[in-house]
């Protein structure tokens, strides 16, 4: 009898600790839940253009940094995370392995800076359309971002001499 009681006690203790593990796991939001996105937009590109890009402001409401490790979209064959670097006065862009949003901070994806590159658009990306880009975070959680397509060719034209900057 004594042995059975001990076993029962052990099982009770085990289930309690299992419950507390489960509930603490539930209390942790996914990284996708901790990221708030404002002002997303994609860039209009003419038919036949090799690539477009999408931009947005990301806010991390958690107290740990969060990384976007990849992005997907049905509008283009390849989607890459990019940044721009100033190479002796020449702006160049390059692929990066992740985009980090600092703890309780923000990341700004904007022309000339960080952006999500939409390479080889399957159809022309035109002003007035809505484009969806899905972000994948380090913990595997995902967030779909629906964004309007905006044209800012005229703005680019005003950037004399720098209008060759490709996004």
- Give residues in contact with Cu ion (CB under 5 A): 82, 93, 117
User: What is the CB neighbour count within 10 angstroms for residue 41?
Assistant: 18
Nearer to Cu ion, 55 or 137 (CB): 55
Residues 54, 167: Cα–Cα separation, whole Å = 9
Q: How far is the CB of 95 from Cu ion (least distance, A)?
A: 8
Nearer to Cu ion, 62 or 70 (CB): 70
Burial class (CB in 10 A: 0-12, 13-18, 19+), 22: exposed
Question: Which H helix or E strand runs over 26?
Answer: helix 2-27
Nearer to Cu ion, 103 or 122 (CB): 122
Q: How far is the CB of 20 from Cu ion (least distance, A)?
A: 46
Q: How far is the CB of 42 from Cu ion (least distance, A)?
A: 13
Name the residue number minimizing CB distance to Cu ion: 82
Q: How far is the CB of 33 from Cu ion (least distance, A)?
A: 28
Taking a C-beta distance cutoff of 8 angstroms, is the pair 167, 53 a contact?
yes
Nearer to Cu ion, 32 or 114 (CB): 114
What is the dihedral sign for C-alpha 28, 142, 40, 90? positive
Residues 58, 37: Cα–Cα separation, whole Å = 5
* Structure-derived torsion over alpha carbons of residues 128, 106, 35, 125, reported in degrees to the nearest 10: 20
Nearer to Cu ion, 43 or 82 (CB): 82
Q: How far is the CB of 165 from Cu ion (least distance, A)?
A: 10
């Amino acid at each position: 009898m004594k042995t059975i009681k001990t076993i029962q006690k052990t099982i009770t203790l085990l289930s309690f600790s299992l419950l507390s593990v489960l509930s603490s796991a539930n209390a942790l939001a996914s990284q996708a839940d901790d990221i708030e996105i404002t002002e997303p937009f994609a860039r209009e590109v003419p038919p036949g253009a090799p690539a477009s890009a999408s931009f947005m402001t990301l806010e991390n409401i958690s107290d740990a940094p969060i990384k976007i490790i990849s992005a997907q979209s049905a509008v283009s064959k390849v989607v890459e995370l990019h940044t721009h670097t100033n190479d002796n006065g020449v702006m160049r862009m390059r692929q990066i392995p992740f985009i980090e949003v600092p703890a309780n901070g923000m990341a700004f994806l904007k022309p000339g800076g960080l952006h999500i590159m939409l390479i080889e658009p399957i159809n022309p990306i035109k002003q007035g359309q809505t484009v969806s880009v899905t972000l994948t975070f380090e913990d595997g959680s995902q967030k779909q971002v629906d964004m309007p397509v905006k044209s800012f060719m005229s703005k680019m034209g005003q950037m004399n001499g720098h209008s060759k900057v490709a996004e």
